[in-house]
Amino acid sequence: MANDLKAFDELMRIHENRVYNLALRMSGNAEDAADLTQECFLRAFTSLRSFRGEAAFSTWLYRIATNVCLDQLKRRARRQQAEPRADGDGLSDPLARVADPGADVDESILCRERQEAVQAALSSLPEHQRATLVLYDLEGFSYEQIAQLSGSSLGTVKSRLNRARLALKSRLEPVLELFSASPSQTDH
């Protein structure tokens, strides 16, 4: 048993950052991401005996992480019933941090506005589209890996990714000027 715990602890250390980043991008909140990461590893540990080795351990673990994140998003949606989340000033959100302490104030504000716009658009996507987009574009998983993680066909993964990208583009169109403007072109 002690060897099992030691081995699992090592696996946690190896995968902790990627699982946390996945949870952060899926939830959009650092506190939730930490909780989701912990829940993922707890589920993985309690389900370790069911791991059959048919896929890589990392694939199995990221499937658990994706499911934990999707479960949390569903619970949140049921609780809030499309009510916008009020995070105050967003200063505790790591996605809204200042780009570079040496950068000028206008550049920092523009960077923060861009990050908030992208996170809001990403958060508005349907859960499976968001998961597919995060896994492919932000986490670097292949189509095949995502299909394995989600239990979906390759065609479904490609379709979800295409729809997610189109939806994200559509949601960012109202704030497109943020991405083409330099700090001197903005009214801050």
Question: Are residues 73 and 101 located together in one domain of the fold?
Answer: no
One domain, residues 71 and 93: no
CA 51 – CA 172 distance, rounded (Å)? 40
pLDDT, residue 16, reads: 93
Domain end, chosen from 86, 111, 143, is at 86
Determine the Cα angle at 81 with ends 77 and 86, to 5°: 80
pLDDT of res. 95? 45
Domain CATH number, residue 107: 1.10.10.10
Spatial separation of the C-alpha atoms in residues 15 and 63, rounded to whole Å: 13
pLDDT of residue 148: 86
State the chain's maximal CA–CA distance in angstroms: 62
Q: Indicate whether 95 and 78 sit together in one domain.
A: no
Structurally, the chain folds into a number of domains equal to: 2
> Model confidence over 10-22: pLDDT tens digits?
888 999 999 999 9
Same domain flag for 42 and 29: yes
The pTM of this model reads 0.64
CA 13 – CA 28 distance, rounded (Å): 22
Closest CA to 166 of 121, 136, 135, 123: 121
pLDDT at 81: 55
pLDDT value at position 33? 92
Do 186 and 132 lie in one domain? The reply is yes
Structure-block tokens of residue 147: 């299909």
* Same domain membership, residue 127 and residue 145: yes
Residues of the chain with pLDDT under 70: 1-3, 77, 80-104, 181-188
Percentage above 90 pLDDT, the chain: 30
Residue 140's domain spans which residues?
Answer: 89-188
Shared-domain flag, residues 165 and 101 = yes
Q: What angle separates helix 154-172 from helix 143-150, to the nearest 10 degrees?
A: 100
